[in-house]
Amino acid sequence: MFSYGTDMEQHIVQMDSWLASPLVREQYIVKSSPSLHYGDPEVRQAWNYATKIVGSGIHLLILGDTGVGKGEFVKALHKHSRFSHKPLVTVNCAALPDDLIESELFGYAPGSFTGANPKGYCGRIRQADKGILFLDEIGDMSLQAQCRLLSVLQDKLVTPLGSTRSYSIDVEVISATHQDLEQLIAKGRFRQDLYYRLNGLTVVLPALNQRKDKAQIINRIHAKHRTQAQKISPEVMKKLMAYSWPGNIRELDNLLKVATLMANDSAEIVFEHLPQQWQRSLQKVYPVSELPSTDLNTTLNKTLIDAYNANQGNISKVARELGVSRNTVYRKLKALGLLARMNP
């Protein structure tokens, strides 16, 4: 049998040790750029900042509108960190009712309450031990659960409901929300001490409409859903680029998934392949490059006024129809003198 010899064996051992060192992992793994962006500077900066603190014990807080990809950001961060072979446990705080979130997070002892598992439940925090606990929509967590979470983060001990025994835990905590936590604090709906504990580092993910790589994202999501060589027509692409995307990447993903199914075997997605509700919304989109500069304001103002009248002054419906925020609608209508006495 062929033998590598002692020198080769030592070299292999040294190479394994080198690859496992924190410095090398940081340089070759943590620094790797995932498919989160295609040149957008804000997302790149958020990624670079986040990768520098992951594994340091500093908690990360991710801010951004609903649908911007906060969950995908965390999945990529986990995959490219030293926790890649450790658990990533996600808790959607908005999806759990107040009476269940504590038992879900902290676990419970056998027979703690009616309907409880007779064997008890260890809880999501203990499931994430030695890995990452991702608390999505942390702004929706009840004050009582916030109080218990703060205690767990401070003491690194978790006590299941109905139990007197505490368990030590070692978790990396990442939180995310689309809400303004400082406003929630002012309203008494979020604990200030927990906020300071969670935001060791805060990064913000931009809305899709603000991203510099929007065209690349559109093509990348389309490529994910198509089953054959297929393009997006120039007409549709211009509309997609000009639309404001209030639902962000999630909204874009839903549209392109349906559109590729409607296009079926067609070599190109054209306007008629889009669902009717999207055709109505995108028909009102006017790419700036297609409009003469002298007529731009007149055209946009007329579109707004027509939508305002058609919806009988319902600002929310106008905003949804035009794909813009309510504040934008209020501001434009005030500028036109239609809402001089109203406040948003």
Residue 259 and residue 152 share a domain: no
Show the domain range for 222.
211-283
Please give the distance of CA 110 from its chain centroid, rounded to a whole number: 35
Same domain as 141, residue 98? yes
d(CA 260, CA 269): 7
pLDDT of residue 277: 86
Q: What pLDDT digit, counting tens, does each position of 209-260 carry?
A: 999 999 999 999 999 999 888 999 999 999 999 998 999 999 999 999 999 9
Residue 88 sits in the same domain as residue 219: no
**Residue 305 maps to a domain:** yes
Domain of 309, CATH number, reads 1.10.10
Pairing assessment for the beta strands 60-63 and 132-136 based on DSSP bridges: unpaired
Residue pair 218/239 in contact (Cβ under 8 Å)? The answer is: no
Determine, yes or no, domain membership for 262: yes
Do 142 and 51 fall into the same domain? yes
User: Is 10 contained in some domain?
Assistant: no
Same domain, yes or no, for 188 and 44?
A: yes
Residue 37 or 128, more confident: 128
End-to-end CA separation in angstroms for the chain: 81
Tokens of 322: 């035009």
Picking from 158, 187, 206, the residue at the C-terminal end of a domain is: 206
14-50 pLDDT, tens digit each: 433 433 444 433 333 334 455 677 888 999 999 999 9
Same domain, 222 and 262: yes
> For the ranges 1-10, 64-73, 280-289, 334-343, which has the lowest average pLDDT?
1-10
Residues 194 and 219 in one domain: no
Please state, in angstroms and rounded to a whole number, the distance separating the CA atoms of residues 26 and 197. 25
Is residue 24, in this structure, part of any structural domain at all?
no
Q: Are residues 226 and 195 in the same domain?
A: no
Domain shared by 100 and 186, yes or no: yes
Shared domain for 82 and 191, answered yes or no, is: yes
242 and 101 share one domain:
no
Largest CA distance in the chain: 91
Of 143, 177, 206, which marks where a domain is finished? 206
**Does 217 share its domain with 124?**
no
Q: How many domains does the chain have?
A: 3
**What is the model's pTM?**
0.72
